[in-house]
Every structure is written in C-alpha cells, then in structure tokens.
Amino acid sequence: MIGTIINTIAVIAGATIGILFKKKMSERFTSIYFQAIGLFTVAIGVSMVFELKHILIVVVSVALGALCGEWMNIESAADKLGNYLKAKMKIGSEKFTEGLVTSFLLFCIGSMTIIGAIQEGTGISSDLLLTKSLMDFFSAIILASAFGIGVAFSAIPLFIFQGGITLLAMWASQIFTPDIIHGLTNVGGILLIGLGFNILGIKQLRIINMLPALLFVVIFIWVFV
C-alpha cells in the first residue's frame, strides 16, 4: 500500500500549493485557466478511447451504467455529501464538489491506476504508482488552482479506490485481465470526455450518474470475453 499512501500525500501536497497559487489569480486568468483544464481533460479522455476494443460491450456498459446511476441518483447524493462537508468544515469554495469529482476521475480512472495498483497488490513493484504520484502532484497543483480545496479532499476517495484495487489484487489478481483493464480504460475515457464538456460549459452531463458503467464493463468482459 506504500504506493497509494505516497500518491495520497502527493495529491494533498500538490493541492495545497495550488490553493495558495489560486489566491493570486484574477477572474480573467481563472476563466482561461478553466478552459485549458477542460481541453486537457478532453484530450486525456480521447487518448483513453483511441484504441477502442469490445465496442458493443463498452456501449452497453455506458448505457446501462447511466440508467442505473440515474435510477440511484448518485449525482444528487454526491452533491448532498459535498454540501454537507462544506457546511461541516465551513468551506466557502463554490466549486468544492466539482473539484472533488473532477480530480477523483482524473486521478483514478485510467490504466495507470489499475495496473499500478495490481502490480503493488501482487508484490511485483510499486514503481508505477510512485511515478503516478509525481504526475498527480503536478496535476493537483493545476487543478487546485482552478477548483480549490475540493481537489485536496479527492485524496480520500483516491485512497479508498486505489487502495481497494491493491487489496483486491492481493486476494484475486486473476480478475484484472488485460481485456478488463482495457475496457475500464475505454469507459473511463468516455466519462472524462464528458467531464471535459462540463468544465468547458459545452453541455452539463451527469457524469457521476454514469460511474456504474465501470462496474458493468468489468462484469460483461469477465462473462463474455
């Protein structure tokens, strides 16, 4: 778990620096900065779906995941949790929830997270997660300077999600086949493209409600591939 622990610390440290940097930015520069973040998010998403395998499974997973998430109304629950944390800790950031969700998706939805956690869980190496920690540190600086303290709080779900994969890999590494990792990357890329549209203000998509797609793609690939 050392890789995940260092990754968590790196995000908190990077976010802290970014928050301090944000205070020195005018509204004009903040606006163009958000546009850059949005384009960056779309670019990452496109790179993750560039080699799309098992297209039918990915499409069905995203569709069913969105319907399931909408039925459970995950986004509303996330908003309530974000507002609760803001009120409880007297946080004044207007983009707290957006920053938390955006950062979590960027830090955790990708092959580097999954493969790194599996490598650490199976005792191969923590090198990939340590490399990811350095990347996330600089990403957290950029994100926190745009979204604020919500980026620092994303370290909590990052620790739970990434650490959970590591523990699962310790128990059953055979679950994470190359096809499943590829499927998760493809679906994650689609979600990141939608997230980028949200940041750019092109269209407000309920991305959080689509998160169950990640579970569906694992199940479908495990059963049918």
> Could you report the per-residue pLDDT of 159-187, keeping only the tens digit for each?
998 999 888 888 876 777 888 888 888 88
Q: How far is it, in rounded angstroms, from Cα 136 to Cα 13?
A: 10
Higher pLDDT, 115 or 157: 157
For tokens 């999600």, what's the residue?
161
Q: How far is it, in rounded angstroms, from Cα 123 to Cα 166?
A: 10
Q: How many folded domains does the chain comprise?
A: 1
Which residues 6+ apart lie within 8 Å of 27 measured at CB?
none
For tokens 């920053």, what's the residue?
99
Domain containing 113: what range? 2-224
The pLDDT of residue 88 is: 65
Mean pLDDT computed over 136-149: 86
Q: Is the pTM of this model over 0.85?
A: no
The pLDDT of residue 82 is: 72
Residue type, 8: T
